[in-house]
Every structure is written in structure tokens, then in C-alpha cells.
Amino acid sequence: MIGALNHVAIAVPDLGAAAALYRDVLGAEVSRPQDLPAHGVRVVFVTLCNAKIELLHPLGEHSPIRGFLTRNPAGGIHHVCYEVSDILAARARLVARGLRVLGSGQPEIGAHGKPVLFLHPKDWAGTLIELEEV
Ligand code: CO
């Protein structure tokens, strides 16, 4: 069921500083900051050869990242994203085992314009997991 690692999302208190570290120190390919108001984040995409790192910063008062940064003021890993080929089949398999899908349970269009679901961190060793259909 599970495919490639698509990205690791890291919440950061200072997006410019984090982007500069990846670009200038690690020599990574780093995008310009992009506002994703539907997701309440400003994001910088760091493209690695086998996956992406997404540096997330809150955008707007109701950003889902804001509380996380309050609890983790230095920043931290927010979620990991795995690719699946059929998100509805993946959901059925998870739900059949009693695993929890966050929100409405319906796939929503994620930051890359593709359907995503988020899985409850308490079912996954404290890790928020995003599934993205590719
Ligand atoms: Co993500």
C-alpha cells in the first residue's frame, strides 16, 4: 500500500532563517516562500533527490501550525507524508483496522493539489501522518 516518502514537514519559527540554512549551508534547492491560505501556512519547499522537506510557518490566526509552535518554540517535525496510489483504498484498509482518519475523513486537496488524508498521531507512535495520492 505505502509508496515513497513524499515529504517531511518541519514547523519553523523563522522561515527565512530556516530556508537560508538549507540553501546556504546544505546547498539545497530551496523555493521562494509560498502562501497557502487554504492550509494556513507559508511554506518553503526544499527539494532533495528522493523527497522534499517542507518548512512550514503559520499564516493567519487559525493556522494549524500556530499551536504546534507554541508547544515547540524552536520548531520541530510536524508530519511525514507517504505516497499511496489509491487513497480511498488506503482509507478503507485503515478504517477496517480501527485506525483514525482526522477531520471529516474525506480526502481533501493538499498543498500539492492532490488528495490527502491525515492520520491520528496516537495511532502512529506520536507521528502525524499524511497520505497523498499520486
Ligand atoms: Co504535508
How far is the centre of ligand 1, averaged over its atoms, from the C-alpha of 81 (Å)?
A: 6
Sorted by where each starts, the structural domains of the chain and their CATH numbers stand as 2-133 (3.10.180.10)
- Grid coordinates of 15: 522561515
Largest interatomic CA distance in the chain: 46
From the list 29, 54, 108, 130, the catalytic residue is: 130
- Grid coordinates of 70: 507554541
How far is the centre of ligand 1, averaged over its atoms, from the C-alpha of 79 (Å)?
A: 7
Over the chain (134 residues), the average pLDDT of each successive run of 10 is 96 98 98 94 97 97 93 97 97 97 93 94 97 96
How far is the centre of ligand 1, averaged over its atoms, from the C-alpha of 96 (Å)?
A: 24
Helices (H), 74-116: 87-96
**For residue 112, what pLDDT is reported?**
87
Please indicate whether residue 130 is annotated as part of the active site: yes
| Spatial distance between the Cα atoms of 40 and 122, rounded to a whole number of angstroms | 23
**For residue 8, what pLDDT is reported?**
98
Rg (CA), the chain: 15
